[in-house]
Every structure is written in C-alpha cells, then in structure tokens.
Amino acid sequence: MSVGKRRHKDHARDDFRGEFERDRDRVLYSSAFRRLAGVTQVAAVSEQRVLHNRLTHSLKVGQLARRIAQSLKHESEEKAARCGVDADVAETAGLAHDIGHPPFGHIAEGVLDKRLKRFEGIEGFEGNAQSFRIVTKLATRRTKHEGLNLTKESLDAILKYPRTKADEPVKKPHWNDRGRGEKWGVYRSELEDFRFARQGDRRHLRCANATIMDWADDITYATHDIEDYFRAGLIPLHDLWRDSDELVAHGVKRLDDGRGFKPARFEEALEKVLHVFNGWGRGRLWDTRKNRAWLNEVTSRNLTELVSAARIVGRSPRVKIDTSAQYLVEALKELTFFYVIDRPPLAMAQEGQKKIIGDLFDQLCECLRQAPDSPKIPVTLREDYAMLEKTYSGNESSRRARAVVDYICLLTDGQAVDLGERLSGAARTSMFGAWF
C-alpha cells in the first residue's frame, strides 16, 4: 500500500501540502475538535479558574508528540524512517486522541459503557473506540464520504489500543511496555476502517506514532495538572514532604497491580520530585509571579528530560520509553491523584455528572422510541438515527442506543447540562437561538 493513501479516494486541491499535513489540518478545523474546548479534563470547564480543558490538553499533546518525533528523527533519520516516525502523523494523533470523549470526560465513559452493554450486539463504550469512530464516520467534512477521510498512517497512529473487544484477549503487558495496551479500542462498526489502517497486521502492537502519542499524552497530563492545581491552591508544592509517606502509599496502591511495577523505584522517583520542590514557594500566596516563573522552569526541565526518554531500538525498530522516565511521570501524576482526583469535592461533583449523563441517555432513547421524527428531538440526533437505519445491522433498540451515544459525544459539558434540563422541564434559559 502506498504511503499517504486515504480511506476514500480524494482529489487534493493544492500541491504544496503533504498528505499528512492535510490530515493535521482536517482534525484541527473539525467541529468535533473544536467541541473539546467545552469538555472536562479533570475539573469541570465551568470552574472560574483558568484550567486546562480537553482542547488545550489535546493541543499540547499534539505539540509534544511532534517534538518527540522530531527528536527521534534528529537522533537517526534512518531508524525513524524504518519504523515510520513522522512529526505530522504524530501530531495529528495527539490532536485527535481525545476527540471522542463524552461530556465530563472519563467519568461519563463508565456510565455510557454500562448503558450500552444492556443492548444486544453492542460491545459497550470505549473512549478511544469512539474517537476512531468520529474521525472515520461521524465528523463532517464532505458529503460524498463519511468522516475526515484521513490517511492510513494517521488512522493507525490514533489507534492507542489496536484491537476490537472480540479479539483474543491480550496477555497483560508489563506496565512500562508502551508498545502494548490491555484495553480494546475499536468498535465492530469500524472494522473495515481498522483493517485499512492496520494493513492486515494482526499483532496488537501500537505503531511507532501511536506510542509517541501515548507518551506525549502522559507527559502533558502529568505536567499541566500540577500547574493548574498548584495555582488553584490544591497541590501544596511548598510542603509536599509533610505528606510524603501517604503519597508513596497512595501511589503504590494505585499502580501495584501493574505487571513488573517496582514500588522502590516509584518511591525513588517520588523523592526526586519532592526534592525539586523542597522548601520552595513558602507562604500563603502561592500563585505569585515569582512562583509561576519557577514552576515554568521546573516544567521545562521535566519536558526536556521526558522527551529525550523516547528511543528507537531493535532490529525490527520500535519506539521504547526509558523506564526511569515512566516512573518519574507516575510520580508527577501522583500529586494530582492524591491532592485532587481522589478527594471528596471532585468525587461529589462527579456523582452529579454521572447522573446527568445517565438521565440524558435514558431520556433521549425514550424520545426516539416514542416518536423518532418528533421536532423535540435535536436535528443532528434525528439525522444520525436515520442514517444508522441504512448502515447499522442491530435491532431497533440497539440502533437507538448507538445513535444517542454518538450524539452525546458531540456535546460539550454545558450542552449536556442544558439539554438535560430542557428535557426534564428544569431549564431556565431562553428557548430562542438554541444550539441544538
């Protein structure tokens, strides 16, 4: 198969951009990507403080994936070429990696998964599989074919977990093996797109650019969350040693089921992080100009070290990530898990978010069951439901469920709340100029 081949025949209108550059632009200019500005990263996007959302996170993942690919190419152009490393492809994967996440992020995935598993012929919900479905089927670019019509290389790079749920289960990989993942990431409905992307490769190994994207995602998440929640006053970088024993215990408990995980190496990495911040930024006013500058300097040093941790190894070359760097990333992430994610304020907010998504799914399914052509059903949902009649082989109730989930994953947090309130009669906003 030729390099840069697309899923559907496409006549380029210009000759100065390469095929992979077009892929990047198609993702960047899609409404599905723009929606991520209104989707939760960790805390809700409605928070008053300027926190990262899924859009700013994805932009940084794309940028960092590009830099990692460039670093590998600088180290050895020959090795990079042999394993298919490409900066545009890696960036495209970084931009698109969260494009299918539902409103409120990961917390909604579990709700939708439980709902979908009730229906015959549906394997459940998986955010990475939904991302692949959006770029291949649901995103709108041209009327003559579905999705963004990306190249084989970019589609392969987006596949963080290149297997369907029905595939033979993968043996649990070592926790630091970036070439594999034990989850699944493709729905049966995109099986032909998956086969096109993988070129008949039946191994469940990520391609080089997918490994780069996955590492860039972890680095970005680990670094920008510390910045966000330090500035919000939730992570006491000036006084981490006070909680050092609890941080170690909490982190080991979170990670210890990983095959090959060594608690002593994690503790060593965490101590390295604590030493960096030891005695820094004392005082009640944490978010000062001086402290921000120092935190930016620390973040920059971490990024430089972590980007250089990617190497190309082996006779059949693949991208490998230095194990020490992976322990460091987990130590950085632990600060957010300990001080933010596993704390009551966020947990209580997430309970409310789960109810919003669950109720919205149930209400929309019931609306479709009662009257699929009713004007009270959002236009996009009506259209998607009608299109599925031609392409979906499941029964009627399963088709409704699939259409509703596809629709929910096109909404922002605010839109999900707004629509839920309208359907329940609790809305206080104007009915005119409604987004749906």
pLDDT tens, residue by residue, 388-400: 887 777 788 999 9
Tokens of 258: 């990983």
The DSSP bridge pattern shows strands 318-321 and 310-313 to be antiparallel
Please give the pLDDT value at position 217.
Answer: 96
Tokens of 13: 């209108």
Name all domains of the chain by residue range, CATH numbers in brackets: 20-208 (1.10.3210.10), 229-345 (no CATH), 348-424 (no CATH)
What is the DSSP code string of 33-63? HHGGGGS-SSS-TTSSS----HHHHHHHHHH
Residues of the chain scoring pLDDT < 50: 45, 48, 432-433
Q: What is the pLDDT of residue 349?
A: 81
Q: Is 96 helix (H, G, I), strand (E, B) or coil?
A: helix
Residue 86: strand, helix, or coil: coil
- pLDDT digits 0-9 by tens, 107-159: 899 999 999 999 988 899 999 999 999 999 998 777 667 889 999 999 999 99
Residue 284 DSSP symbol:
S
Look at the block and give the residue holding tokens 């670094």.
223
Query: End-to-end distance of the chain based on CA atoms, in angstroms?
Result: 41
Structure tokens of 100? 């299918």
At position 336, the amino acid (one-letter code) is T
Rounded to whole angstroms, the Cα distance separating 311 from 322 reads 8
Compute CA distances 23 → 37, 92, 386, whole Å: 20, 7, 28
pLDDT of residue 67: 98
Please report the pLDDT score of residue 162 as a whole number.
93
Between CA 200 and CA 203 the distance in angstroms is: 9
User: Of the candidates 223, 191, 210, which has an alpha carbon nearest to the alpha carbon of residue 332?
Assistant: 223
Please tell me the pTM assigned to this model. Answer: 0.92
Structure tokens at 338: 């300990």
Q: Residue type at 204?
A: H
Residue 14: what pLDDT? 66
